[in-house]
Amino acid sequence: MTAAGYASVSVASTLIGLKLWAWLATDSVAMLSSLADSLLDLLASGITLFAVKIAISPADREHRFGHGKSEGIAGLVQAVIITGSAGYVCFRAIERLLAPSPVESPSVGVGVMLISLVLTIGLVTFQRFVVRRTGSLAIAADAVHYRADILTNIAVLAAILLSSSWGLHIFDPLLGLLVVALILWSVAIIVREALDVLLDRELPAEDRLRIGEIARAHPEVFGLHDMRTRSAGATKFVQFHLELDPKLSLGDAHTICDAVEREVRQIYPAAEVLIHADPYGLPENRDPF
């Protein structure tokens, strides 16, 4: 996961230098919006790298469940920072709408945006690979706004071409506002996923169904109830009650619970599984959902 964090910081730093040069050469609002986005990408990527390093650190005496929720906090911090930049770009775009002006040195802007597209697509491809392997929320959040950056770069490229080739100067601020909308869309996704982790949202229904099927497949399991799940970073936490034959010895019940736990962990290797054995048919209060 840290490799993805370092790659993100490196790409963001490179793009900032290129886009600063291009903005000074073109005076394009769309290019300014892309520069602001890259500046925040660098800050957000730095936060992501820091959060990932904390998240993968092992559990300790004060944090027995690990540090995975640091990724959710990092996602919310990213959202606040990115929203601030979107507001600034929106203000500049409205100014330019009221007084449109041509884009200068368009060839510089076009070249920089093409390089940005190539670098960003490469980074997003690598991030998607890491997220599939680790399930990292912080890397996933980072990838969300870099995916939006791909659309942003295309919009800026279009703005420069429309202004320089056809004299449609108003498209520069208009596409700058489109970039703002894309940024805010990425913020909404980041906030939703961060809150899911921080508020202990249940795992997806298909995961819960699969865990239940695995547990019930054991020949000595009569039923299952009170399943609770959540995730923190790459770690999933799963707990449930198994209904077993009341005549079983404590040792036999323990053996069955261990077997079910191993089966669940074969499908979800990073999961922490806690199983409580109940005598089958024992009346008790159960979760209503």
Domains, the chain, ordered by start: 2-198 (1.20.1510.10), 205-279 (3.30.70.1350)
Is the predicted pLDDT of residue 78 greater than 80, yes or no? Answer: no
Nearest to 123 by CA among 235, 36, 13: 13
Judged on CB neighbours under 10 Å (0-12, 13-18, 19+), 136 is: buried
Q: What is the strand order of the sheet 223-232 is part of? A: 223-232, 235-244, 272-279
pLDDT band, residue 222 (cuts 50/70/90): very high
pLDDT band, residue 5 (cuts 50/70/90): low
CB under 8 Å to 220, separation ≥6 — which residues?
244, 245, 248, 256
Instruction: Determine the 3-state secondary structure of 98 from DSSP.
Output: helix
CA separation for the pair 170, 178 (Å, rounded): 13
pLDDT at 138 (0 to 100): 65
Beta carbons of 256 and 242 less than 8 angstroms apart: yes
Alpha carbon 45 to its chain's center: 12
- Residue range 167-203, pLDDT digits in tens: 777 777 787 788 778 778 878 887 888 888 888 889 9
pLDDT band, residue 2 (cuts 50/70/90): low
φ/ψ of 37, rounded to 5, equals: -65, -40
Can you give the pTM of this predicted structure? 0.65
Percent of the chain with pLDDT over 90: 22
Arithmetic mean of pLDDT over the chain: 82
